[in-house]
Chains A and B, each alone.
Chain A
Amino acid sequence: AQSVTQLDSQVPVFEEAPVELRCNYSSSVSVYLFWYVQYPNQGLQLLLKYLSGSTLVKGINGFEAEFNKSQTSFHLRKPSVHISDTAEYFCAVREYNNNDMRFGAGTRLTVKP
């Protein structure tokens, strides 16, 4: 079965600085990859997804992620963060022909003024 590892539990950054949230996955078959954001006491909101094609995918709120098959990674990046980006971020993987989706433990991004 697939699994996801988010390498950083907490990432503090200053406003307008770039940020990268790291995600590695494990699977014996091809996968779909996703990043979600969660604000306090809310459900998860989809940021972006990789299904096939170009390995660089762009999402909402200025985020982008790059799929690297050889390194089994799907890191999330933003060139300049805002205070409002403070939230929990989850990486998720779903195998082809599989109905369940597995999530990483999450990365808490804190943007400081």
Chain B
Amino acid sequence: SQTIHQWPATLVQPVGSPLSLECTVEGTSNPNLYWYRQAAGRGLQLLFYSVGIGQISSEVPQNLSASRPQDRQFILSSKKLLLSDSGFYLCAWSDRGGSPLHFGNGTRLTVT
């Protein structure tokens, strides 16, 4: 069966520091991969999605970037964090077509 791993679970970083969040998927090949952000009390904002290695679609211009160095690995990065980057970050994967997204357990990021 397929599983998705996302880490760390919680992270506290100072303003201006770099960020790297990692997500890996097991048990499937060539999945679509996604990064969402959920601000406190708000819905999910799609940040990036990828349909293959090295293919990244950015939905919102911002302080973040994403990379997909391997088929089942998706990384969310920032060179310098802002206070507004605080939130709950969720990684997800899906197959093609009408397949639903399957989510990781999320990373709670607090920028201080």
CB-nearest residue of chain B relative to A42?
B105
Q: Is there an interface contact between A94 and B98, defined as CB atoms closer than 8 Å?
A: yes
Q: Which of B12-20, B43-51, B75-83 contacts A (4 or more CB under 8 A)?
A: B43-51
Chain A contributes a number of interface residues (CB within 8 A of B) equal to 25
Chain B contributes a number of interface residues (CB within 8 A of A) equal to 25
Q: Which of A12-20, A68-76, A79-87, A99-107 contacts B (4 or more CB under 8 A)?
A: A99-107
Given contacts A49-B98, A94-B98, A101-B34, contact A42 B43 (CB under 8 A): no
Q: Is there an interface contact between A90 and B44, defined as CB atoms closer than 8 Å?
A: yes
Using a CB–CB cutoff of 8 Å, the interface residues on chain A facing chain B are 6, 32, 34, 36, 41-46, 49, 51-52, 90, 92, 94, 96, 99-106
A-B contacts besides A49-B98, A101-B101, A103-B44, 16 pairs, CB < 8 Å: A32-B98, A34-B100, A36-B103, A41-B106, A43-B6, A43-B92, A43-B105, A43-B106, A44-B90, A46-B102, A90-B44, A92-B101, A99-B49, A99-B51, A101-B46, A101-B94
| Listed A/B pairs (21) with beta-carbon separation below 8 Å | A32-B98, A34-B101, A41-B88, A41-B106, A41-B108, A43-B90, A43-B104, A43-B105, A44-B90, A44-B92, A45-B103, A49-B98, A51-B98, A90-B43, A99-B57, A100-B34, A100-B57, A101-B46, A102-B46, A103-B43, A106-B43
